Structure formats: C-alpha cells, structure tokens
Structure 1
Amino acid sequence: MVAYAELTDPDAVRAALAEFDRLGRWTFLEKYGFHEAREYFLVTDTGRYDSKAIFAAAYEVQHGVAVSAGEISGGKSGAARRLHELGFVVEGLDDERGRRTFPSFDAALREFRLPLENLPAVREHLARFDFREAYIPPAGSYIAMVPSDGSLVHYINSGSIYFRHPDGRGELIPLPVNRLGRSGFTRSAAMRKPADVCPECWIELPSSGICPNH
C-alpha cells in the first residue's frame, strides 16, 4: 500500500489537475486505471475532479512511481484526506478538527480573502438559502456555509461557488474574478468563455452540445 503522507508537493497535485483538464475526464481515468469517483471530489475554481485518480497521478508526478487503484483508498483516511491536508477542497470530506466556526458569512469573511468584485454575486447566491453557520478549514482555502436544513455545505472559493441541489446535482458557479493558484495571476470571467461541460460526468461537451456518454 502507498503511504499517503509521501505525497507532499501541492504542485504535483496541480500538475495532475492540469493533465486531467488537458486529457478530459474519461481519458485521464483510463490512463491511470481508475473508475469514476462516487463521493469524494477535489473541487477547484475551474472544475471537479476524481480525488483518488488525482492522488495517483500526483504521486507519480512527484515520485515517478505508478500507483494502481488497488494500492490506495479514496476515503476519509486515504487519498481524499491527504489532498485535503495539502490544502485542496475535497467534496464529501467533512472534518471538524481545526476548523474555525463563525455565526455568519460576514463574520467568516473577515478572515478570508475574497476579491471584492465577487462579493455581490456571492451575496446574491447566499440570499437564496438559509444557513445556520459558516466555517473555514485549517488550510483556509474556502468558506463553507452550512444550511439550516442539514443539506450539504456550499463551498465559497475565491473564484467560484460549488454546491449541490436537493436532487444531488452539483453546480459550479464561476465568479467575475478568478484568482488561480498561488502565482497571483488574475483573470476576469468576462474575458474568457468557459467550456460547456456535461452536468453528469463533467467532461467538455463537443460542438453539438450532446455528451457522448449519456
């Protein structure tokens, strides 16, 4: 079995994410020998990624050693946990250790760097729901808004919002300004046309707009 703590380089994870974007979901999973994730997804400002496969690809980037699906677990004590420890947002992984809890979004916002240009869109989204509290994880990578009805949290990232509808359908909402990574690079959503993706498997759609997998 792979020692999860041996993955120590966040840049290796970012390289795996870039390869996922370049190849597309199904080609990436086929290359590394993984099935699609059902519960644990790494979520960024630009997409949603199968966490177990991303861990394996990142491990290979860092150590030059291929990792098979049978060598790692994708659960709370495995690949998803390690990616979370490296500062990435992992949907389905809820850990109360070390988090900072706040009574409201505004209280949490005082400790989270959100581009001012994105604030109106975030407030508009939050006004549609009722939340009982907010929290920021130890890595400080997002504000999680906890709904009063006990449904899944809404993730407020610096450049996007990710949440699930009552029917289980996930939605990623890009914000006007998207700051990616730690390079300080900033780009406006108005200056780029995001690719249309399938809401079920999150691969880029062809020009026909019809997903080949559904």
Structure 2
Amino acid sequence: MNCSQQDNYKIGIIAPTPSDPRTSKVIEGAVFFKDHFLALKHNSSVDFYECDSPITSGSLISLAAAKTIPPPCVDLFIDGIDLDYGLRLRQKGFHNLIATKASMHHNFGSPIQVKFMNKYRYIQQYSALRYYYICRNHSYLETRFSQGYYHFTSLMRRLKYMLLQIVFIILYDLEDKQLKIWACLLGTYRGLIGNISKTW
C-alpha cells in the first residue's frame, strides 16, 4: 500500500522498530483486542505496518494529528502512556505505523531466562515502582477501553495478570519480594477503581 496515493490516509505516529540487544527480541507494537492490549507480531517483510499503539521512544508524531486530541496523559507516565495516546489517535481515524527499516536499541526491564512449565522463556524483572505503574496503568486503560461484556472479562484478565506476576516474583525475584507483591496488589486496585493520580 502506498500511503501517498491515498487521500484519506492520515498518519498519526511513525515509530521505529525497537529491540532489546540483551535478548535480541523486538519490542512489539500493540493493538487493542476486545478487552486487552495485544502485542502485534513484528512483520519484517514489509517497509511498514500498522498498529494501534507503537512505542513512544524514537517516534515521530504528526502535529496535525496531535491537535485533534488532548495531549498524552501525564498520570500514565512510565508505563502505558503510549498505549493510551496511540489508541486515542486511532479512534480519531489516524494510522500509526512502525517502520521496519528504522531500528532502535531499547532496554526493556531486566530480562532473565527461566524454565516455567517445562518451557524456557524470558521474563522481565522490575523495581517495585515499575511493577506498581504497570499494574495500575494497564488495569486502568484496559478496563476503560473495554466495552459491554468485555469490561468484565478485562477485569478478570487484569486480576489473572496480577496473580501471575506475583507467582513470578515469588519464584524468581531475588530481592524486595514483599514490596513488589504489594506494588502489584496496590497498583491493580488503584487502576481498577480509576485512581491514577495517586503516585507510589
């Protein structure tokens, strides 16, 4: 598809392809699917592809698009601010693109490789502060972008995510386990009730 040939094709964000050099994994853009943000599989066979919410770092934002919606929500800073802003632009009819030929190194958490349920996988370790904002902001955004029945399924999904993070903290984290577990509990609670002005 040639964007320049489409009169109604309005670009909101153009983002690079970020990857973590420690794991060689691409940090994928996100799409909102029914009740949650879902990582969109990277497609290196094209020059660009669309997503709802690309990463903020290294992105270019159209000034014309930015004037149509409120600015990024500062209360969502640290984690989730890009998910919210990108999706709001999409809802206004703008297209957010990831350029596959523009690469950017981006450290994402502290990855460790673990064996879980007989499979090796990378998991991210964070500070208690980061766990708090991930749980709070994602719980807030996903339950509020969900509509109808999916509002309930989003709630269940966020509780499941919180419990899974607590399991990983108990099994694999080496320090501040209790503080990090409390951060997940408190962050999820505040996100679900809509209190995102309360800092850690």
TM-score, length of structure 2 as denominator length:
0.30
**Which structure is higher in strand share?**
2
| More RCO (CA 8 Å, sep 6+) | 2
TM-score, length of structure 1 as denominator length:
0.29
**Which structure is higher in helix share?**
2
